[in-house]
Structure 1
């Protein structure tokens, strides 16, 4: 543990130049006294490091000194795959490992390339979740991630839709972060399926499984792409023909996400007529029942459902009920 920290001190000084003991202590999450002991150990080992006291002092290496001890551990090499998602790495318990890997990688770069890498980090940032949606922090995520890394069979208690609790024995194949929510892809019997990690109530480790045998030919990205397409088809089983104003079409990606954006783009690509007031017909995928009514009501007067007839009638009835509530002339608590 101390050897790893000494290497981190060395790489920090090499990458950043002069640092105070307080800055090093904060980076390494140790005490200032520990930092000074580490500096003494590096100096005793022949590393040309020295400290200057005073207001503008600090700890630094003799100019020009560089170490080549930048080899990545297996865990650090794996963590680099999440280098663009530091919050996700932290959720998986890989935050410190990722930081160490990035530090070693930076140390291996020539000074001019290291400067450019630091410039990019200061000017571009990836924020995965949508507005008003935080990345969830499931209590069992770390345990599930460990099972994915180490090929361990899990017995999980899981809450399905409708709050029905079930128990499953699964062989974890991978984790996916989608719109701020974590999903476990696992094999159950002979089938790969998905579980939202936030709905897992308990986790028990049962033993090892042979991933090469169980997941021969399995590709996580391909599976997720296929699953997402099928899920979208199940979620939006029918299509409504609607008229949308210019504002309504602009709101479609906001209210309906990729589904709404795709529908509007397809209408434009097909050359659907736009009338003098800016209205255009769009084939819009919709859910079944009440969820479809709720989604369409969000557009207010910027949309008109033409077909199917039953959906148009249901939406008209919902609008009439809303109008009646507001036409009463008084608030509900005063009636």
Structure 2
């Protein structure tokens, strides 16, 4: 326990430049007698700590000296640099990582530098040409979250015209290759997908945070609500064996493969926002998939068949 306290005392001293015994005692919630003993122990251990008596005095590091002590273990350092690899970090994060490397004890520096080069996160969807379109808004929203300023947000939801509203930015979340703003609005807490943010203008007015707000808990609740809407309908179908691998890649966790049928085909179920949307996605497989239910999914496919025949013409014969 005393070793931890000495480390905390040294870091507090380093961050403040000069401290009094009373300040150390208040910061670490110990007695002034214990604080004085700890400061003296640091000096005795060879750390360049000295005291100055009189008005304006206190304890300081000699010449403003700084320690390379970070309190991080080797495993913690590797984990940090792996997760924040310099190959994908923002310029600000790369600068912070370089400073942290210089602050690390020499035996740990090479480990940290190797870890930074060993990991890359590519959030770009293979089907998207540009995943950086929201970068200017992302920077503005990050500043608004950190500074606690309300924002006039220009936003275009899916299938909706663009609109402008004032929101209280509370946090940012990254999920499945997309970044989201969590904000309080007149209609309550909600999420905004950053790729749909058109403008983000800080108003200067302070953010009002809901009492007891906890970002991870709120995000889990909002994400669960969104996922419920995205998986509100289930379509049952029978699929040709050669389609199963493609279906698994296309629908991932939304697909469930059932038992094999006597004709060699397999029964499958697919979840989606509506039965009509799932039917439209399955239409690309043509006769290799037969939708069984619900009826509205079959009706959607029948309408699509009529529309496509009207555009492209019905073939005279089917091979």
Q: Which deviations, in whole Å up to 9, do the C-alpha atoms of 1:261-309 show, x marking residues without a partner?
A: xx32xx4xxxx42235653222321343653332112334442211112
The whole-number CA distance in structure 1 between the counterparts of 2:82 and 2:145 is 15
Q: Superposed, which structure 2 residues align to 1:1-335 within 5 Å?
A: 68=67, 84=84, 89-90=89-90, 95=91, 97-111=92-106, 113-133=108-128, 134-138=130-134, 139-189=136-186, 191-209=188-206, 214-259=209-254, 263-264=255-256, 267=257, 272-275=258-261, 278-288=264-274, 291-319=277-305, 322=308, 325=312, 327-328=314-315
Query: Matched residue of 1:299: which SS?
Result: helix
CA contact (8 A) 2:155 2:196 kept: yes
CA RMSD of aligned residues (A): 3.5
- For this pair of structures, how many residues does the alignment match? 240
Q: Which deviations, in whole Å up to 9, do the C-alpha atoms of 1:25-51 show, x marking residues without a partner?
A: xxxxxxxxxxxxxxxxxxxxxxxxxxx
Q: TM-score, normalization: structure 2?
A: 0.62
C-alpha distance 147-153 of structure 1, shift in aligned 2 (>3 A): same
CA contact (8 A) 2:275 2:296 kept: no
Q: TM-score, normalization: structure 1?
A: 0.59
The whole-number CA distance in structure 1 between the counterparts of 2:154 and 2:179 is 16
Higher Cα Rg, which structure: 2
